[in-house]
């Protein structure tokens, strides 16, 4: 910070909320977490900061603190854009990720998730399997939010072998005898493994593999419903992503 009350922050724009004619509140996700600021005239396509403030633009923002302690934009420098061009599945994936960040991610949980967000946008732009990318991000978001599944052992007895099911109610893997006791349906081995692969994927491996649709669809659907049940809110962009 060169001048008191001024600062520069880097981040990816995930939401623009229009205010008045051409102004907007710009919401961003950066290494330090979520932040937002007021930008005058930024909805005008001929404004100098227009490109840097578009959704999925990664930019450096030079901000001035107002007397109320809020920030307004002085100048923005576009660093990169992750907007997928003419790729419907990538667009649906982007909508899903943006909805998760804007409606389901608490500010205090956000910072560790930023590398996953950025790598997911890069993978979508490169045309990598959107559902696999989205499911990995969803799984990470649930984990930092405290809704993650335990996929290291049977959640009821601690057994590490003979795992046959994933239970939303119990919160993770179940072994054969516990699944039978709880009346939980058995799953195929590929699905059981995929749950764990997804949960353990580091951010720099997003986009390096794609799971088959018959495997990824039920996991995306199930984790989404678990997040909806845990938060009481609906993921509006889920059905379109699933049906594609």
Beta pairing class for 33-39 and 57-65? unpaired
CB of 95 to Zn ion, least distance (A): 38
Told to check if 63 binds Zn ion by CB under 5 A, we report: no
Of the pair 34, 175, the CB lying nearest Zn ion is at 175
Q: What distance in Å separates the CA atoms of residue 78 and residue 144, rounded to the nearest whole number?
A: 29
Of the pair 109, 153, the CB lying nearest Zn ion is at 153
CB of 166 to Zn ion, least distance (A): 13
Binding map of Zn ion across residues 145-164, x = CB under 5 A, - = no contact: ---------x-xx-x-----
Of the pair 79, 157, the CB lying nearest Zn ion is at 157
- What residues contact residue 207 under an 8 Å CB cut-off, 6+ apart? 119, 120, 122, 123, 126, 128, 133
CB of 178 to Zn ion, least distance (A): 3
CB of 153 to Zn ion, least distance (A): 8
Of the pair 178, 223, the CB lying nearest Zn ion is at 178
Q: In this structure, are residues 165 and 143 in contact, taking their beta carbons and an 8 Å threshold? A: no
Binding map of Zn ion across residues 83-112, x = CB under 5 A, - = no contact: ------------------------------
In the region spanning residues 172 to 191, those forming contacts with Zn ion, defined by CB under 5 A, are 175, 178
DSSP letters, 27-65, are EEEETTEEEEEEETTTTSTTSTTTGGGSTTEEEEEEEEE
CB of 195 to Zn ion, least distance (A): 16
* DSSP 8-state symbol, 85: P
Of the pair 130, 151, the CB lying nearest Zn ion is at 151
Binding map of Zn ion across residues 106-145, x = CB under 5 A, - = no contact: ----------------------------------------
Beta pairing class for 6-19 and 57-65? antiparallel
Q: In this structure, are residues 184 and 167 in contact, taking their beta carbons and an 8 Å threshold? A: yes
Of the pair 120, 165, the CB lying nearest Zn ion is at 165
Size of the site for Zn ion (CB under 5 A): 6
Q: What distance in Å separates the CA atoms of residue 93 and residue 215, rounded to the nearest whole number?
A: 17
Q: What distance in Å separates the CA atoms of residue 139 and residue 130, rounded to the nearest whole number?
A: 14
Q: What distance in Å separates the CA atoms of residue 39 and residue 149, rounded to the nearest whole number?
A: 40
Of the pair 176, 193, the CB lying nearest Zn ion is at 176
The residues of the shown chain that bind Zn ion, judged by CB under 5 A, are 154, 156-157, 159, 175, 178
């Amino acid at each position: 910070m060169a001048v008191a009350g001024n600062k520069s922050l880097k981040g990816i724009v995930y939401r623009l909320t229009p205010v008045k004619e051409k102004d907007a509140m710009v919401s961003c996700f950066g290494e330090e977490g979520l932040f937002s600021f007021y930008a005058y005239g930024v909805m005008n396509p001929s404004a100098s900061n227009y490109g840097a403030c578009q959704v999925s633009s990664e930019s450096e923002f030079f901000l001035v603190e107002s007397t109320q302690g809020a920030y307004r934009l002085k100048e923005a420098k576009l660093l990169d854009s992750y907007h997928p061009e003419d790729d419907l599945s990538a667009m649906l994936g982007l909508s899903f990720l943006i909805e998760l960040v804007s409606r389901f991610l608490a500010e205090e949980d956000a910072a560790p998730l930023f590398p996953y967000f950025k790598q997911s946008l890069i993978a979508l732009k490169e045309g990598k399997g959107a559902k696999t990318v989205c499911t990995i991000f969803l799984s990470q978001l649930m984990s930092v939010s405290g809704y993650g599944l335990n996929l290291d052992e049977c959640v009821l007895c601690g057994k590490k072998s003979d795992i046959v099911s994933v239970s939303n109610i119990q919160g993770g893997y179940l072994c054969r005898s516990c699944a039978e006791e709880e009346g939980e349906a058995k799953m195929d081995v590929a699905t059981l493994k995929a749950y764990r692969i997804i949960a353990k994927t580091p951010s720099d491996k997003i986009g390096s593999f794609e799971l088959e649709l018959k495997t990824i669809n039920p996991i995306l659907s199930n984790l989404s419903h678990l997040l909806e049940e845990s938060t009481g809110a609906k993921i509006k962009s889920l059905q379109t992503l699933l049906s594609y």
